[in-house]
């Protein structure tokens, strides 16, 4: 490990010593048993020690090693096994299952830690001159196989960790812009900004373990995007090192200078070069921040209310609503005696029943308000009326405060479930509002149909997470009870069923997780064959030697996952 650069554990999310706990959540084990038939109290198999993995030796040539050491110094050219394995994967289910099994694929031969822009320029040229493969690495949190070298890659593979480029360089207080190095992790960046009274407002669930450069390279979106925008809106300018060139895009509020090069870099997943810094919109830390909880009789009522919030003058920071199953999950996941577990207290239940609600259909919503006291008061008034117009009721800010504190703990739950034979993952999409309800019905239906065909128990739930003028993102979480050696085949079937439902119901392949290899099979359906032609031409033009993270986004050679059901059902 390099001093000052955070590194996740090799087998799961976050750092060693942090894990999910359920013992103080009395409703959680019964919930899991009821939904998928798994007893989470049973003993689990321990994670094998790292030393049990058969890590392929580094293939770094002595001549390339010497060149790289000449640029960076010995300390920042790492070839030890654990560092290489950590940089071989993201944190998708497929990654987690495979690394635990010791199926390591094509592990990078070396991991580099540049500390300056000039070092990045020199190493990019050296790696491309040596005809090696270069893969930028941020926090390693992506879940779309965006970091893995192509299977069978015979050239040397070089991973470039940007973690030493972690400073807020400059704040332009007049324009509300900050110039920030790309390798900074979310909390470190916000600490630096907030120390001067500013915030970027970008908070993905993976905030603690992801970086500015990774967000830009995957077109990330944070939970406060209704106010602050997606990273594509927030990023106004950037610097990207390409072989033999440096792209400099000055920060501009808008421009008509031809097809947007800024937009070409957004979502490029390392295929065009290494982003070293960006100019981003920043805002004054708001005077008031508050998250209120509401209930609706059904998810459809909640969806309609969220649309009306967007149409209104409210300007909220966040508006999310969970379907009935996710509502049940949230309440089961609350600590004993906490505001979440007792949300539907006897009194509230009585009120809901008096209103004629079916308690198995209720949908919980969190709406975030930020700004001056008067803005928050005004906005809460508008939202309260919309909630009531849609048959809903407010339950105060206590549960929202708890949600705010605990929002980054959920990723640990996935490792906990995997330990217990449950394969859990997420898929997310956007549709125009006109198709939002249909998407929810058909994507969940496609998942259960797949479970029936496989003869397995599984559960899927969903929330609306980000809203726009014309539509919204819905975020589906699924869990499958499959502890067999075949669980990745099962996973493929379920994942494919949901992704195909996205394409069949006016959705996109992904709203904010990017493409990687995982989603590349759907790209022609998503942006049409001509759209893929444009992207392919861009990547081939910039990188004719396929040195820059090849195989991602456009499926040009690597055997990614298949969308042909026969491959999986065989
Ligand atoms: C539990 C969990 C929750 C998540 N929640 C969210 C969420 O709420 N919102 C969201 O948007 N995403 C979410 N993600 C996905 C993931 O965190 C994002 O894709 C994130 O943007 C990746 O950032 P990273 O720094 O970890 O990048 P990495 O995973 O390290 O890299 C991702 C891709 O970007 C490239 N890359 C990284 N840095 C650079 C750079 N400086 N220059 C060029 N290319 C680069 C890599 O080569 C790779 O192709 C979640 C993931 C997990 C596991």
Classify residue 286 by its DSSP letter: P
CATH number at 225 reads 3.30.465.10
Q: Which residues contact 530 (CB under 8 A, 6 or more apart)?
A: none
The closest-lying atom of ligand 1 relative to the alpha carbon of residue 146 is: 49
pLDDT at position 182 is 98
Q: How confident is the model at residue 349 (pLDDT cuts 50, 70, 90)?
A: confident
pLDDT of residue 341: 58
Whole-angstrom distance, CA of residue 397 vs CA of residue 480 = 33
Looking at the chain, the whole-number percentage of residues with pLDDT higher than 70 is: 96
Ligand 1 pocket, residue 140 CB under 6 Å = yes
Which pLDDT does position 53 carry in this prediction? 97
**In angstroms, how far apart are the furthest CA atoms of the chain?**
77
Atom in ligand 1 nearest the alpha carbon of residue 411:
1
Contact 117, 239 (CB under 8 A): yes
* 337 part of a folded domain: yes
What does the pLDDT look like over 119-171, one tens digit per residue? 999 999 999 999 999 999 999 999 999 999 999 999 999 999 999 999 999 99
Domain total of the chain: 2
What pLDDT score was predicted for residue 23? 87
pLDDT of residue 569: 35
Give me the torsion for CA of 219, 204, 399, 459, rounded to 10°: 70
Closest ligand 1 atom to the C-alpha of 162? 41
Which one-letter DSSP state was computed for residue 406?
H
215 C-beta closer than 6 A to ligand 1? yes
Question: Of 284, 309, 342, which residue is a domain's last?
Answer: 284
Query: Is there a domain that residue 84 lies in?
Result: no
Q: Are strands 471-481 and 458-467 parallel, antiparallel or unpaired?
A: antiparallel
The per-residue pLDDT for 563 is: 38
Determine the pLDDT at residue 558: 43
pLDDT exceeds 90 at position 408? no
- Categorise residue 565: left if φ over 0, alpha if ψ from -120 to 50, beta otherwise: alpha
Is the pLDDT higher at 404 or at 78? 78
Token output for 284: 């004054």
Q: Using DSSP, state whether 458 is helix, strand or coil.
A: strand
220 lines ligand 1 (CB under 6 A): yes
* Model confidence pLDDT, tens digit, residues 174-209: 999 999 999 999 999 999 999 999 999 999 999 999
- Give CA–CA dist 188/208, Å, rounded: 9
Work out the pLDDT band at 344, boundaries 50, 70, 90. Answer: low
Q: Are residues 387 and 292 located together in one domain of the fold?
A: yes
Instruction: Give the dihedral sign, CA 492/494/497/499.
Output: negative
Does residue 559 register a pLDDT over 60?
A: no
- Please write the tens of the pLDDT for every residue from 430-460: 999 999 999 999 999 999 999 999 999 999 9
First-to-last CA distance in the chain?
43
Dist. CA 542–CA 13, nearest whole Å: 34
- Helical residues (DSSP H) of 272-372, grouped into ranges: 299-311, 324-332, 346-354
Q: With a cut of 80, say whether residue 251 has pLDDT above it.
A: yes
Find how far residue 167's CA is from the centre of its chain: 23
Domain range enclosing 372: 288-407
In this structure, what CATH number is given to the domain that contains residue 321?
A: 3.40.462.40
**What pLDDT score does 336 carry?**
78
Q: Which two tokens stand for residue 548?
A: 């820059």
> What distance in angstroms lies between residue 218's CA and the mean position of ligand 1's atoms?
6
Of residues 170 and 334, the one with the higher pLDDT is 170
In a domain, 329, yes or no: yes
Q: Report the distance separating Cα 369 and Cα 318, nearest Å.
A: 7
Q: Does the annotation mark 299 as catalytic? A: no
Q: Is the pTM of this model over 0.90?
A: yes
Q: Is the CB of 513 under 6 A from ligand 1?
A: yes
Structural domain includes residue 428? no
């Amino acid at each position: 490990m390099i001093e000052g650069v955070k590194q996740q554990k090799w087998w799961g999310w976050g750092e060693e010593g942090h894990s999910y706990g359920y013992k103080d959540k009395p409703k959680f084990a019964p919930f899991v048993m009821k939904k998928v038939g798994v007893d989470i109290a049973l003993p689990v198999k321990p994670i094998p020690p790292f030393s049990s993995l058969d890590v392929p030796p580094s293939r770094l040539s002595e001549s390339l090693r010497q060149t790289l050491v000449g640029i960076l110094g010995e300390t920042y050219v790492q070839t030890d096994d654990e560092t290489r394995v950590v940089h071989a994967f993201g944190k998708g289910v497929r990654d987690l299952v495979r690394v635990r099994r010791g199926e390591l694929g094509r592990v990078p031969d070396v991991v580099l830690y540049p500390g300056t822009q000039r070092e990045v320029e020199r190493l990019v040229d050296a790696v491309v001159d040596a005809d090696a493969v270069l893969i930028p690495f941020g926090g390693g949190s992506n879940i779309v196989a965006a970091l893995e070298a192509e299977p069978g890659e015979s050239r040397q593979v070089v991973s470039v960790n940007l973690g030493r480029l972690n400073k807020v360089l400059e704040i332009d207080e007049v324009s509300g812009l900050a110039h920030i190095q790309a390798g900074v992790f979310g909390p470190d960046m916000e600490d630096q900004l907030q120390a001067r009274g500013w915030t970027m407002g970008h908070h993905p669930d993976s905030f603690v373990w992801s970086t500015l450069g990774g967000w830009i390279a995957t077109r990330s979106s944070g939970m406060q995007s209704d106010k602050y925008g997606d990273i594509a809106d927030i990023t106004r300018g950037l610097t990207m090192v390409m072989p033999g060139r440096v792209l400099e895009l000055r920060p501009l509020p808008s421009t008509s200078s031809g097809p947007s090069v800024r937009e070409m870099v957004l979502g490029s997943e390392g295929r065009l070069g290494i982003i070293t810094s960006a100019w981003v919109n920043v805002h004054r830390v708001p005077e008031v921040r508050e998250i209120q909880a509401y209930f609706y009789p059904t998810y459809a009522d909640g969806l309609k209310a969220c649309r009306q919030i967007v149409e209104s003058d409210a300007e909220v920071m966040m508006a999310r609503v969970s379907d009935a199953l996710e509502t049940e999950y949230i309440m089961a996941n609350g600590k004993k005696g906490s505001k979440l577990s007792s949300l539907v207290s006897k009194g509230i239940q009585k009120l809901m029943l008096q209103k004629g609600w079916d308690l198995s259909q209720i949908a919980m919503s969190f709406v975030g308000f930020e700004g001056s006291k008067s803005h928050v008061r005004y906005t809460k008034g508008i939202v309260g009326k919309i909630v009531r117009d849609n048959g809903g009721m407010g339950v105060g800010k206590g549960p929202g405060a708890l949600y705010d504190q605990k929002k980054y703990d959920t990723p640990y739950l996935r490792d906990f479930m995997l330990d217990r034979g449950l394969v859990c993952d997420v898929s997310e999409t956007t549709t125009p509002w006109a198709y939002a309800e249909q998407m929810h019905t058909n994507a969940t239906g496609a998942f259960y149909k797949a479970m029936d065909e496989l003869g397995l128990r599984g559960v899927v739930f969903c929330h609306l997470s980000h809203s726009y003028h014309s539509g919204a993102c819905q975020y589906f979480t699924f869990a499958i009870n499959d502890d067999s050696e075949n669980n990745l085949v099962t996973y493929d079937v379920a994942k494919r069923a949901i992704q195909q439902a996205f394409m069949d119901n006016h959705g996109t392949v992904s709203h904010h997780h990017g493409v990687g290899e995982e989603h590349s099979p759907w790209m022609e359906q998503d942006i049409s064959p001509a759209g893929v032609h444009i992207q392919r031409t861009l990547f081939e033009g910039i990188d004719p030697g396929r040195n820059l993270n090849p195989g991602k986004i456009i499926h040009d050679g690597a055997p990614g996952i298949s969308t042909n059901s026969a491959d999986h059902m065989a």
